[in-house]
């Protein structure tokens, strides 16, 4: 609608009794002023940029510089390749034999005495076995049979008092 009125104004101005060149200049000046008036209307806030591209680049680079130490620590902790010295890890085989056993778990210093971490696999009827790689050291351990019966390793002659009146098997690597 605004364009219609602007065109109508220009049409009326064209009927002025001015020499052709001055009339053309006058019409161009009027159009220029109309365009300026139209452009002065403020855009809604959502269409105006809140910060300039230069300010945005500065803020992002500042945030990047602040986050570099944190990113490096994550790389060190999680993503950096870890060196495993295979000559320092020793393969240990644990075997338990019992006809009544349905489930045999291995608990010890190497797994924080937590249930369900190392479950022995049946290799024959009544025979369970598990192989682990452990670094050299002294380890106390015990078998948990069927979830309630604590049994020492019959194949390990060394025993250590557990501090609760019972004995644990001792493995020295």
Name the CATH code of domain 86-172 (choices 3.90.79.10, 1.20.1440.130, 2.60.40.10, 1.10.3720.10). 2.60.40.10
* Residue length of the chain: 173
Q: Which residues contact 161 (CB under 8 A, 6 or more apart)?
A: 167, 168
For residue 152, count other CB atoms closer than 10 A to its CB: 15
In this prediction, residue 99 carries a pLDDT of 87
Q: What is the largest CA-CA distance in the chain?
A: 124
Q: 36-45: long-range contacts (C-beta < 8 A, 24 or more apart)? A: 38/2
In this prediction, residue 15 carries a pLDDT of 58
Calpha distance 72→51 (Å, rounded): 30
Calpha distance 72→68 (Å, rounded): 6
Q: What is the 3-state secondary structure (H, E, C) of 107-152?
A: EEHHHCCCCCCEECEEEECCEEEEEEEECCCEEEEEEEECCCEEEC
Alpha-carbon distances of 24 from 15, 57, 162, rounded to whole Å? 11, 47, 108
In this prediction, residue 80 carries a pLDDT of 45
In this prediction, residue 143 carries a pLDDT of 93
Q: Where are the beta strands (DSSP E) in the chain?
A: 90-97, 104-108, 118-119, 121-124, 127-134, 138-145, 149-151, 159-161, 167-172
In this prediction, residue 104 carries a pLDDT of 92
Give domain limits for the chain: 2-40, 86-172
Residues of the chain with pLDDT under 70: 1-24, 38-50, 68-87
pLDDT in tens, 107-126: 998 888 888 889 999 998 88
In this prediction, residue 52 carries a pLDDT of 73
Rg over CA atoms, the chain = 43
In this prediction, residue 75 carries a pLDDT of 54
pTM for this prediction = 0.50
């Amino acid at each position: 609608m605004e364009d219609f009125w602007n065109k109508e104004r220009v049409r009326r101005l064209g009927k002025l009794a001015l020499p052709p060149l001055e009339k053309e200049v006058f019409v161009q000046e009027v159009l220029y002023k109309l365009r300026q008036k139209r452009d002065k209307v403020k855009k809604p806030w959502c269409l105006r940029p809140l910060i300039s591209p230069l300010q945005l680049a500065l803020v992002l680079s500042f945030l990047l510089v602040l986050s570099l130490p944190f990113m490096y620590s994550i790389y060190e902790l999680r993503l950096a390749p870890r060196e495993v010295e295979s000559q320092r890890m020793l393969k240990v085989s644990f075997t338990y034999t019992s006809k009544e056993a349905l489930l045999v778990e291995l608990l010890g210093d190497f797994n924080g005495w937590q249930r369900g971490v190392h479950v022995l696999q049946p290799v024959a009827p009544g025979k369970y076995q598990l192989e682990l790689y452990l670094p050299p050291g002294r380890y106390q351990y015990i078998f948990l049979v069927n979830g309630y019966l604590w049994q020492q390793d019959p194949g390990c002659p060394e025993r250590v008092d557990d501090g609760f009146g019972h004995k644990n098997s001792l493995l020295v690597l």
